[in-house]
Structure 1
Amino acid sequence: MQSQRIAVAGGTGGIGQHVVEGLLEIKAKCSLHIIVLSRSVRSDIFFAGSSAPVLAVDYNDIANLAKVLNEHQIDTVLSTLSSPDPAVFAATQGNLLSAALRVPTVHRFSPSEYTHDSSALAEIIPYARSKIEILEPLKQIKAMRGSNFEFTLFHTGAFMNYLAVGNPKPDGAKALGHITPFPYVFDFKNLKANVPGDGERRMVFTATEDIGKFVAAATQLATWEEHSEMKGDWVTFNQIISMAESILGGNILFSQKRSMPSTIVTAGIGGSPPSFTNLYLFIYLAIINGNYEMMRPFNLNEAVGNAVKPITVKEFLERWWGL
């Protein structure tokens, strides 16, 4: 059953706002009712000639959360929640699911994934473990309710927009969309790259704007698979460096550092507790280990067809770093 009345939890955040904008883009055509849940009072979100109200909620108050969802007869809850504290994140998302289950009209729920498959990453990346805590409850609910309940995890790969950090163009800040800067592997402004391993591991990159469009298109699918794999591009780090050097022109060469497991541990991963500060080090280890290449077929690209035409890494680099 297609989604018609949708709540986006965390929809004022980085990736959340892109999801809201993706939905607003198809709102009129698909006759959608969209609400955004936020921890604080915010203005309505306007995009593509449509708008969605932002409702302030307390994620610790399950009864009130359920009341809000019930008042709007929500049938689909999309979680884009995040927190630097894994315990807070897991508890908040668990409360959201508990509230959704109290609402008779809710038949779809998507937890906050928006990365590679967290199940494949949890052994190496501690933060990923907080994302998979909700999977067993979801599977149990699905087993009990059968066709009356669906859930999916949106696997996006890395946000392609990180490749634009430090862009000097007059409108360069727009390249990041709504996400915050994160100098991930590449420093294009200073022609530097801190490459995980030998740079030959493939990684999925998807622009945040396209992620919003993919999620919006997925709400209109008749059925959901448990995993929704999307991609803008699937490339190695060495390929990105080669593309960048060509696009920047002349005899431009990147200064490259190759991070291997031993140097990563020495850099602080060993005795340091997992946090957002050293999260990238754990990600480097997972990339070198091949965990980011454990991808299923890109079923969402196929399922939505021409509804989304994602930008490739080469196209993105040409747009923001081309001369």
Structure 2
Amino acid sequence: MKSQRIAIAGGTGRIGRHIVEGLLEIKHRYSLEIIVLSRSQSPHISYAGTSAPVLPIDYQDLSSIQKILNDFQIDTVISTLSGTTSDPFITSQENLLRAALSVPSIRRFAPSEFSVNSEQVPSVELYQMKIPIIRSLRQVKQERPDFEYSLFSCGVFMNYLGYGNNKPEGHKAHGYMPHFPYIFDLSKRSADIPGDGEKQLVYTRAEDVGKFVAAATQLEAWEEYNEMAGDVLTMNEIVRLCEDVCGTKFDVKYNSREVILARLGPPEKVMENFFAEFLLALMDGECDVKRPINLNGLVDVKPMTVRQYLEQWWG
């Protein structure tokens, strides 16, 4: 059955906000009820002429989670929670699922993926925090065959390619995502590439991720894996696109495994280690397309390609 009453956990920022806006865009068309769960008090989110209430929540308090989901008769929970330490993140998602399963109306749950599928990248430590909830969801599915869950994967956010552009409203290139370059820094006309550049990258604009997920809520059934993409290109192909749009050659550095390994620091350097580990995963093919990119063919969403994005913000 299609989703009708949807709760987005962590929907006030970053990819969660894009998913909320994707849902608000189709809210009236499908008569949806949308609520946003947040650890902090925030104003309602308004978009496309409608809005969604933001409800403060304590993910350590199962009864309070259950009450909110029950009061709104939520049937679908989408988690966009994030964290850099395992215990709070894992516990928050597990509590969200446990509370949801005690609500009679619940029938769908999407855990916080929204990148490369976490099971594909065992070498990326930060993503291993996402594995426990997947195991829990598979166990629930065995016990409740009518329950649905889906792992939404989108690769790397295309928005990082907008860093440093000088358009009048250049900040909009990032959407709600962090402002920094990753692998490609078009402001410096440079690229920092793992290996020989022939490994593929899946790129999806964050705004399009929101549209894809919103459209997926109106599918009659959810597949376990819902893969989406704006583009699938090798890093060398992306370099050539950047050079073509910018009209100049880029300074491209091809890094060996030893060079990237040297970037790994002590455990407290969480994000620095994450970026280095992800480069190693790219080099090792862990981020290659493993399954068909099915969601593009299941919903009517026309995502932006890398060339279109580059032409908008760098052309």
The TM-score normalised by the length of structure 1 is: 0.95
Letter in 2 for 1:151: Y
2:270 to 269, 275, 282: 275
SS of alignment partner, residue 133 of structure 1: helix
1:277 deviates by 2.8
1:318 has 2:311 as partner: yes
Tell me, in whole angstroms, the C-alpha distance in 1 between the residues paired with 2:148 and 2:223.
Answer: 8
Structure-to-structure mapping, 1:32-181, within 5 angstroms: 32-122=32-122, 124-147=123-146, 149-181=147-179
Please state how far the C-alpha of 1:85 moved relative to its aligned partner: 1.7
Single out whichever of 128-137 and 36-45 deviates more from structure 2. 128-137
* Structure 1 gap segments, 5+ residues each: none
Alignment match, 2:3: 3
CA contact (8 A) 1:117 1:295 kept: no
1 CA distance for matches of 2:96 and 2:115? 20
Counterpart amino acid of 1:292? C
Provide the residue aligned with 1:258 in structure 2. Answer: 254
**Residues 212-257 of structure 1: CA deviation (Å, up to 9, x unaligned):** 00000000000000000001000011111111111112xx111111
Question: What is the CA distance between 1:83 and its match in structure 2?
Answer: 1.1
Give me the whole-angstrom Cα distance separating, in 2, the residues matched to 1:259 and 1:87: 34
Name the amino acid aligned to 2:150: T
Q: Counterparts of 1:225 and 1:257 in 2: how far apart (Å)?
A: 39
Query: Which residue of 2 is the match for residue 295 of structure 1?
Result: 290
The residue aligned with 1:233 is 231
Instruction: Give the residue type in structure 2 aligned to 1:262.
Output: E
Tell me the distance in 1 between the aligned counterparts of 2:263 and 2:177.
26
Residue in 2 aligned with 1:207?
A: 205
Is the CA contact 1:126–1:274 (under 8 Å) kept in the aligned structure 2? no
Moved more, 273-282 or 154-163: 273-282
Percentage identity across paired residues of the two chains: 49
Provide structure 2 residue ranges, at least 5 long, that are not aligned to the other structure: none
Offset of residue 84 of structure 1: 2.0
For these two proteins, the number of residue pairs brought into alignment is: 315
**Number of the residue aligned with 1:243:** 241
Shift of 1:50: 1.0
**Contact between 2:203 and 2:229, CA under 8 Å: does it hold in 1?**
yes
CA contact (8 A) 2:264 2:272 kept: no
Q: Distance in 1 between matches of 2:103 and 2:272?
A: 38
Question: CA deviation digits over 1:260-285, x for unaligned, max 9?
Answer: 2111112235x545612321100000
Q: Secondary structure at the match of 1:2?
A: coil
Task: Report the Cα distance in structure 2 between the residues aligned to 1:214 and 1:295, rounded to whole angstroms.
Answer: 19
Aligned-pair Cα RMSD in Å: 1.1
Amino acid at match of 1:284: L
CA distance in 2, matches of 1:14, 1:293: 24
Q: Is the 8 A contact 1:18 1:211 kept in 2?
A: yes
Deviation >3 Å, runs of 4+: 271-274
CA–CA distance in structure 2, aligned partners of residues 247 and 175 of structure 1: 16
The 8 Å contact of residues 230 and 303 in structure 2, kept in 1 or not, is answered as: yes
Following the alignment from structure 1 to structure 2, what is the Cα–Cα distance between the partners of residues 89 and 12?
Answer: 17
Cα deviations by residue, 1:58-97 (Å, 9 ceiling, x for unpaired):
1111110000000000000000111122322111111111
SS of equivalent residue, structure 2 residue 51: strand
What's the TM-score, normalizing by structure 2? Answer: 0.98
**Contact map agreement 1:127 1:274 (CA 8 A) in 2:** no
Question: How much has 1:294 moved relative to structure 2?
Answer: 4.0
Contact 2:263 2:273 in 1 (8 A): no
